[in-house]
Amino acid sequence: MDYYSNGNGEWKDREDPFSSSNTPPFQGDGTGPGFTGPDFGSSRWKEKKTRKPMSPKGKQTLKIVALCLVCALLGGFAYPVYQSLTGQTGGTTIYTGDRSPTKVDTSSVDTSKTLTTADIYAKYVTSCVGITVDIVSTNIFGQTVTGAAAGSGFVITQDGYILTNYHVIDGANSIKVTFSDGKEYPARFIGGEERNDIAVIKVEATGLTPVVIGKSSDMLVGEEVTTIGNPLGELTFSETTGIISALNRTITMSDGTQMNMIQTDCAINSGNSGGPLFNQHGEVIGIVSAKYSSGNAPSGASVEGLGFAIPMDDVADMVSQLVSNGYVTGKPLLGISVDDVDEKVLSYGVPAGAIVRVVTPGLCGEKAGLKEGDIITKINDTEVRSKGELIAAKNEYKPGDTVTLHVFRAGEDLTLTLKLEESTPEKEAQQERAQKAYEEQYRQKLQQEQQQGSGIWPFGGF
């Protein structure tokens, strides 16, 4: 929701969520805004003027009654701070409340008890961070593009490990972390899990205040939640509150992958991604990740209050592995990069499925005989109609498992046997290099066809 694909983002001021005003009611002279005075030109007012004048005693009685009425409305928690210097009773009086300001003793905050949102903010705003990244990339024309993105994160260990969304730091050339006291630190990438949209970064600092991790499985629809983040990358360390609107909501992300999410009506905007979602005990039960916007809705319908967070129960083990190993162990690998089949070609007898764009040399996909342009339509008995379905089906297996792939190639249906490998940082780096080589070839092909004035054949590499 807050990853800028064009690399644009900003980072400016911070906002104090505690600022408030207690504007007292007051009696005016009938000339101020919002007050309608008498119409001296109306017949109604002229009729009043023809009545018998009130006696001085009657006027004094009316003043006393009016003053008593004002005091009754203001209640016993107000007192006069200004009176007319004439010394006469019934002079202009302004009233203000005498309530003592709310104070939060962070040392006494106990997560075993229900906390106010002020308690949560005071205790954990120092655990929340703003994240800005510089992104250097190459577009399809071979031009170097520099941009920036902004997001949020939160401290999970005293020695500087910070959890955020993978899409916040994806492609980052440099990462900067800012704390609520204004201190800034450069951060280094430790590891991430793109499919689950989590990443761990680290700053060289000690004595930090980590959050308390709670159980998302203990939450109920309707319970209050709050988040602290950096909406728009400008309104830093803002707190917003709401409720849990739904649990176990399956959401399809922009890349086609499906994720299990907590739905909330907390105000979530670009820049909130990666921030913590607290329960009423100040425990983090989710990672703010996405917002459903009007652009996602059918017919452009207006959308409000549809935010989503990754349940902590789904990723807690992965986070521990990222901290200790730098990657998540036990993930199966196909050794290929895939995409959805273009809808334009389905009417030509080409089946829906996941089309292979890149076969990484030396990995299990190449060993199984997969080739660029193959369309995978089934894994064992599971139908595959998109890259998202292929990824979901693959993740049902473990490294070392053998699967049968049903493949459409050049008008023929084939079956291939593939033994899944374990994903490691080294193998992921291999795939990334192969992917970049493919993108470079695609860029050159696009330039060539543009120079020749022809379009790209929709069948791609079939």
Helix residue spans in 272-342 (DSSP H): 312-325
Helix (H, G, I), strand (E, B) or coil at 414: strand
* Cα separation, 164 vs 230, whole angstroms: 13
Burial group, residue 81, by CB count within 10 angstroms (0-12, 13-18, 19+): exposed
Instruction: Answer for the pair 267, 240: CB distance below 8 angstroms, yes or no.
Output: yes
* Residues that are catalytic: 167, 197, 273
* Cα separation, 77 vs 75, whole angstroms: 6
* Cα separation, 309 vs 277, whole angstroms: 7
* Cα separation, 135 vs 140, whole angstroms: 16
Instruction: Answer for the pair 201, 164: CB distance below 8 angstroms, yes or no.
Output: yes
Which is it for strands 258-264 and 276-278: parallel, antiparallel or unpaired? unpaired
Of the chain, the end-to-end C-alpha distance in Å amounts to: 33
* Cα separation, 296 vs 9, whole angstroms: 21
